Amino acid sequence: MKSLRLRLVVTLCLAIAVVWSTAAAWMFGSMRHELQNVLDDRLVASTRMVAGIVSQFSQAHMEASSQPGQHTDLTSVIARDGVACEVSLVRGEVELLPIARTDNSPGFTEVQELGFGRITKGGKLWRTYVLEENGIRITTADRMDVREHLVQSFAYALILPFVLVLLGLLALTWWLATRGLAPLRGLQQALANRPPQDDSPIAVGQDIKELAPMVHSLNALLARTHAALEHERRWTADAAHELRTPLTAIKTHVQVTQLMLAREHRQNGAITAPVVEQIQQSLSHVEQGILHMHDTLEQLLLLARIEGADTLAAQQFSGMEVLSAFERACEQSQKNAVAKGHSASLQVHVQPSEPSAWAEGQWVLPLPLPLLMCAVSNVLDNALRHNPGGKAVEACLALDTKQPGLHIRIRDYGPGMSEAECAQAMQRFWRKSPFNQGTGLGLTIVQRIISSAQGQLVLGAAEEQGLVVDMRLPIARVADLARAQEAH
């Protein structure tokens, strides 16, 4: 994943490195040239200084020493500034008689040209300067490797601060980039912490010139999304309401027709029994279809109302009220199963089983009890519809008081579902088989109710056979919440 902060820091550091490197290269070249000039001027100054000193000695006194480098008085004088120096007497045009030289001088009698020059002696390159006055030749020299070492020392003195400053700039730029990008991080956190149903305008970043256009675009997108969702919800609710009335009328007419046919057959007997039976069967199929459409519309209306609510208000209930709501949902599902001709065998378990444990204190549940009953009923209706009848469907309600939470577990012994089918089961209108009864909206509604309450819905295959549905809801004691508020 690309990082704007890393890109900004690297770009700035590269730009600084390029600028400083260019400046350093120019400064190094200029410094090298100036240093060479300074050292050359030093050679000239040393030569002229020796010439001034030599002029104080008489010609006879200097010629008194015939061996090279044996004029001790003159040698002690010219060796003071550390420059390699040699003083020679000029004999004729090409003959030179060295009369004094420093200890570090390798001998420069081969140098013929006056002024600056270069010579290699003892495997070392020397920079020389030759001055000839009044029959006296004075040669001064520096080793070029010593000069280069001096240049390198200057270069190190220039590079080391550059590297240290660059590292300091890198750390400072990273810190400044982190602070500069803090509004982006604040915007990201604000978006991450927003509930899914919150489509109100974003306030973070509107006071920052660079972020304001993006925030305005996000707010415009949220407004368009909100309008589209509202349009969809209104369309769903309006369509369901519009379809409910004609379906109810059709259902009523079918029932009236069935009653009239049955009464006419009993009174007059003009219609034969097989014909009446066939008509009754056809009308029964029509009524079942109408009931299925009616159930689908009711589920759509409920889903539209749940999705239209921004949040589910937390409400206070006693434990007995929660237990009673669960038991009523179980009873209603059993009645629906009997009315539709399904097996209504249901075993209800409650933990703790003592009513006194449920009667203690008040609890805060993050959703109304009717929605809790709706979630339980939808899961139980599916379980009773697909349970073959050999074993009873198990419905368990457990209250955990140590780590407050409400756990509802419903298990059937039907055909069950695979892991992939469990993941698809919460999608709208999904059914395992197109021939199965049901609207395909029950688990979608349950998942929406549980998630709105910050709970968890888990579907999984049972160990032997069937399906297990676990619903976990957060719950808290009113007294614990009051103590927490007082502590804050």
pLDDT of 409 reads 92
Task: Let me know how long the chain is.
Answer: 488
Distance set, CA 430 to CA 355, 427, 435, 443, 446 (Å)? 39, 6, 12, 9, 14
Note whether 96 and 148 are same-domain residues. Answer: yes
269: left (phi over 0), alpha (psi -120 to 50) or beta: left
Note whether 283 and 326 are same-domain residues. Answer: no
pLDDT of 436 reads 60
State how far the Cα of 34 lies from the Cα of 340, in Å rounded to an integer: 105
Tokens at residue 226, please? Answer: 């909100």
pLDDT of 166-187, one tens digit each?
788 888 888 887 787 788 888 8
Closest CA to 393 of 350, 441, 345, 429: 345
Note whether 299 and 316 are same-domain residues. Answer: no
The CATH number that applies at residue 279 is 1.10.287
Q: At what angle do helices 273-308 and 212-267 cross, to 10 degrees?
A: 160
To 10 degrees, the CA torsion angle through 230, 244, 452, 483? 110
Task: Provide the b/e sequence for 385-401 (b: ≥16 CB within 10 Å).
Answer: bbbeeebbbbbbbebee
Domain termination residue (choose one: 310, 326, 361): 310
pLDDT of 89 reads 74
Distance set, CA 1 to CA 5, 7, 80, 174 (Å)? 12, 12, 68, 18
**Helices vs. strands in the chain: H and E counts, helices first:** 13, 13
Omega before 352 within 30 of 0, i.e. cis: yes
Q: Which domain holds residue 63?
A: 4-163
Contact present, 344 and 300 (Cβ < 8 Å): no
pLDDT of 321 reads 85
Ranges in the chain, pLDDT < 70: 1-2, 57-82, 92-95, 111-112, 196-197, 235-247, 264-276, 278, 282-283, 285, 287-315, 361, 428-440, 479-488
State how far the Cα of 443 lies from the Cα of 426, in Å rounded to an integer: 5
pLDDT of 396 reads 93
Q: How many C-beta atoms surround the C-beta of residue 81 within 10 A?
A: 13
Residue 288 falls within a domain, yes or no? yes
pLDDT of 132-145, one tens digit each?
877 788 888 888 88
Alpha-helix runs per DSSP H in 55-143: 59-63, 72-78
State how far the Cα of 285 lies from the Cα of 287, in Å rounded to an integer: 5
Phi then psi for residue 136, to 5 deg, are -115, 125
Looking up tokens 């010629």 gives: 63
pLDDT of 272-310, one tens digit each?
666 667 677 766 767 666 665 666 666 666 666 665 555
Residue 170 falls within a domain, yes or no? no
Note whether 213 and 323 are same-domain residues. Answer: no
pLDDT of 14 reads 83
Looking up tokens 């120019």 gives: 26
Pairing between strand 136-143 and 124-133?
Answer: antiparallel
The CATH number that applies at residue 327 is 3.30.565.10
Tokens at residue 262, please? Answer: 């049955």
The structural domain count of the chain equals 3
Note whether 363 and 476 are same-domain residues. Answer: yes
State how far the Cα of 63 lies from the Cα of 78, in Å rounded to an integer: 17
pTM check: above 0.75 = no
